Amino acid sequence: MSVIDTTRPPSEPARQKWDTRPKLLIDGDHDLCPGCGEPIALRCMLEVIDEMGLSQSAIGAVGIGCYTALTSLLDTDMVQCLHGRAPSVATGIKRMRPQSLVYTMQGDGDMVNEGLQEIIHSAARGESITCLLLNNGVFGETGGHMTATTVIGQRTKNTLEGRDAAYHGHPISMTDLLTPLGGVGYVARSTVTTARDIQRTRRYFRKAFETQVAGKGLSFVEVLTMCPTGWFLPVQEGPSYLNETMSPVFRIGEFKVDGQIFTPGA
């Protein structure tokens, strides 16, 4: 075990937060809540775009949700879309600029409630874009009501008793909807609750972007993210609540790679 010598000054200065800031992040500070998972997922994506040397060609089509507040901090070209419409906007961008790396950024309320047909049709057409779903099972920005992905029993600020299938219906799984579609090349789901999961998220982003660069169809990455505010939970309970509530329903892993279908954990 290495022992730190505390009798003399350190030979190197302490690392500052700026030292680890991804190149494509303009500022290290943001206004999202403590414990929010969305900034972690977006950081993973930025790091991968930079590592792949694609920062000059990347264009984001961004939906509306808490993550929208982060876009002024991201140093890639970006188009702000109407609620739910990002995949259609991304379609137009990619068709006009086929050499660009075009990605969408949407929440569950934006993609699965407001704009479900946009992502489904873009996927079925096999648009060469990469779609990111930040799934926290709640309309975070507008106050914490449940969305189409809230799992049975999951509580939100406006429905503290949790989702009741008999009254509220059942959640929609985007990986289940997208995986069978012929136009889709890559489908994966991850989380950002542990360092291992964060590394997995980065790996999935890379494979999704590689799918786009290779022209192998639409690529889709869903990231389950903590929303302690919308779940009305203490910040530190966010990751365990996600792992106990959402992860058993929304399985983690790769569902489709190079057009071949897999069952994670099987």
Ligand X SMILES: Cc1ncc(C[n+]2csc(CCOP(=O)(O)OP(=O)(O)O)c2C)c(N)n1
Binding residues (CB under 6 A) for ligand X: these are 38, 64-67, 83, 107-110, 134, 136, 138-142, 147
The interface region with Mg ion, picked from 19-27, 129-137, 213-221, 245-253 by CB under 5 A, is 129-137
CB of 225 to ligand X, least distance (A): 8
For ligand SF4, which is the closer residue by CB, 88 or 229? 229
171 binding partner (options Mg ion, ligand SF4, ligand X, none; Cβ < 5 to 8 Å by kind): none
DSSP code string of 133-198: EEE-SEETTTT-EE-TTPPBT--BTTBTT-B-HHHH--PPPHHHHHTT-TTEEEEEEEE-SSHHHH
136 contacts ligand SF4 (rule: CB under 6 A): yes
- State yes or no: residue 127 binds Mg ion (CB under 5 A): no
For Mg ion, which is the closer residue by CB, 130 or 156?
Answer: 156
CB of 144 to Mg ion, least distance (A): 10
Binding of residue 32 to ligand SF4 (CB under 6 A): yes
Residue 1 Cβ, how far from ligand X at the closest point, in Å?
Answer: 43
List phi, psi (to 5°) of 186: -145, 135
Partner whose binding site includes residue 33, from ligand X, Mg ion, ligand SF4, none (CB under 5 to 8 Å by kind)? ligand SF4
Picking from 90, 93, 98, 229, the residue whose alpha carbon sits closest to that of residue 158 is 229
Would you count residue 136 as binding Mg ion (CB under 5 A)?
Answer: yes
- Residue appearing with tokens 């639409």: 218
What are the beta bridge partners of residue 221?
A: 132, 188
**Residue 229 binds to ligand SF4 (criterion: CB under 6 A):** yes
Beta bridge partners of 219: 130, 186
Residue 36 or residue 81: which is nearer to ligand SF4 going by CB? Answer: 36
Q: Which of 37, 90, 108, 190 binds Mg ion (CB under 5 A)?
A: 108
Q: Which residues contact 177 (CB under 8 A, 6 or more apart)?
A: 120
- Is residue 133 near ligand SF4 by the rule CB under 6 A? no
Q: How is residue 20 written in tokens?
A: 């680890």
159 near ligand SF4, rule: CB under 6 A? no
Residue 32 binding result from ligand SF4, Mg ion, ligand X, none, given CB thresholds of 5 to 8 Å by partner type: ligand SF4
Please report whether residue 70 would count as binding ligand SF4 according to CB under 6 A: no
Q: By CB under 6 A, is residue 108 in contact with ligand SF4?
A: no
Residue in 203, 177, 186 with CA at minimum distance from that of residue 256: 186
Q: What is the CA 79 to chain-centroid distance, rounded?
A: 17
Beta bridge partners of 132: 105, 221
| Exposure of 253 in the CB half-sphere (CA atoms within 13 A) | 12
Instruction: Work out whether 38 is an interface residue with ligand SF4 (CB under 6 A).
Output: yes
Compute CA distances 132 → 9, 39, 94, 191, 225, whole Å. 45, 13, 16, 12, 12
Interface positions with Mg ion (CB under 5 A): 107-109, 136, 140
